[in-house]
Amino acid sequence: MSFTARYADHTTALGVANDVLTSLLARRSVRKFGARDVTDDELTALIAAAQSAPTSSNLQPWSVVAVRDPDRRKRLAVLAGNQAFVAQAPLFLVWIADLGRARRLAARSGTDVHAADFLETTIIGFVDTALAAQNAVVAAESLGLGSVFVGGIRNHPEQVAAELALPAHTVAAFGLAVGEPDPTEQADVKPRLPQAAVLHREQYDAETADRHIDTYDERLAAYNNRFGLPGGWSDRVLTRLRGPETMAGRHRLRETLERLGLPSR
């Protein structure tokens, strides 16, 4: 059932199945949370799962700030685009691309880490942070917890850094609101692009892949209509990427990263 829901296509079925696949295919973003807290034992499990993710050259270039204080969550909600669920979630995890730890290690050792100045290393920081956070999402699902990523935490990186007392050479990559899903939330498994639009065999075939976009537009529009939302996928992509005015200040991220000590040259 979760496979057909993920693609809004009842003509195909998945030929293999297990509990992990069922959980992954049923995952959805949760933006309305119940009253119960996330326990310290659960938080420990989420971070252990995150630290079990792959990491380039074992650099482990990330950290995470667990925010429970209601007032701080409210302030972060405003900085992240006035998204109320950030304040409502009992736990808000802010995931940090952290090159500061390596630089502090170098300072203690009296050595240089010039490679930390380059874009490749910044990319590693963001990629490894995302891998770790996704492991935490899967772990949360296994514990009956819901979550949603919050890219809006990059709207005001320097204010977020001040709020969380982040050291130099670090930046908040994104947030993750975590809590018990409220069953009254009007949401479901959102359909994704057909696999034929994203899976290429041996070489990239744009013409063949793009033929499936119209079908997906129809499927996503039908899903959106169920919840009173307008339009399909193509219009949303084009609107979101129209220009700097749609980026909530993030078009200045390169300059901000340099000020935070991540020159990314």
CATH code of 42's domain? 3.40.109.10
Residues 117 and 244 in one domain: no
Domain membership of residue 173 (yes or no) is yes
Q: Average pLDDT in the 88-112 region?
A: 97
pLDDT at 11: 79
* Residue 151: pLDDT over 80: yes
pLDDT at 218: 95
* Residue 178: pLDDT over 80: yes
Domain membership of residue 15 (yes or no) is no
pLDDT at 231: 87
Domain membership of residue 105 (yes or no) is yes
Q: Average pLDDT in the 178-195 region?
A: 94
pLDDT at 1: 60
Domain membership of residue 253 (yes or no) is no
Domain membership of residue 261 (yes or no) is no
pLDDT band of residue 191 (cuts 50, 70, 90) is very high
- With a threshold of 0.85, does the pTM exceed it? yes
Element (H, E) at 199: none
- Domain boundary among the residues 183, 206, 240 is at 183
Residues 147 and 112 in one domain: yes
Neighbours of 71 (CB within 10 A): 8
* Residue 89: pLDDT over 90: yes
Q: Average pLDDT in the 46-65 region?
A: 98
Residues 43 and 122 in one domain: yes
* Residue 153: pLDDT over 70: yes
Residues 145 and 75 in one domain: yes
Residues 91 and 213 in one domain: no
pLDDT band of residue 9 (cuts 50, 70, 90) is confident
pLDDT at 21: 92
Domain membership of residue 47 (yes or no) is yes
Among the ranges given (3-12, 40-49, 116-125, 141-150), the one the predictor scored with the smallest mean pLDDT: 3-12
Structural domains counted in the chain:
2
pLDDT at 215: 95
DSSP-derived letter for residue 80 is T
Question: Going edge to edge, which strands form the sheet with 146-150?
Answer: 62-67, 91-98, 170-179, 146-150
Residues 107 and 154 in one domain: yes
Residues 106 and 199 in one domain: no
94, β-bridge pairs: 65, 175
Contact 98, 133 (CB under 8 A): no
pLDDT in tens, 195-214: 999 999 999 999 999 999 99
Residues 74 and 177 in one domain: yes
Token look-up 């969550």 returns: 73
Domain membership of residue 231 (yes or no) is yes
Domain span including residue 229: 190-248
82 to 77, 95, 237: CA distances (angstroms)? 5, 19, 22
CA distance 239 to 247: 11
Token look-up 């001040």 returns: 162
CA distance 31 to 154: 19
Residues 118 and 244 in one domain: no
Q: Average pLDDT in the 93-115 region?
A: 97
Residues 80 and 200 in one domain: no
Residues 86 and 174 in one domain: yes
Domain membership of residue 41 (yes or no) is yes
What does the DSSP assignment read for 131-169? Answer: HHHHHHHHHHHHTT-EEEEEGGGGSSHHHHHHHHT--TT
* Residue 87: pLDDT over 80: yes
pLDDT at 13: 85
Rounded to 5°, the CA angle 247-237-4 comes to 130
DSSP-derived 3-state class of residue 243: coil
Q: For the chain, what is the mean pLDDT?
A: 95
Residues 44 and 165 in one domain: yes
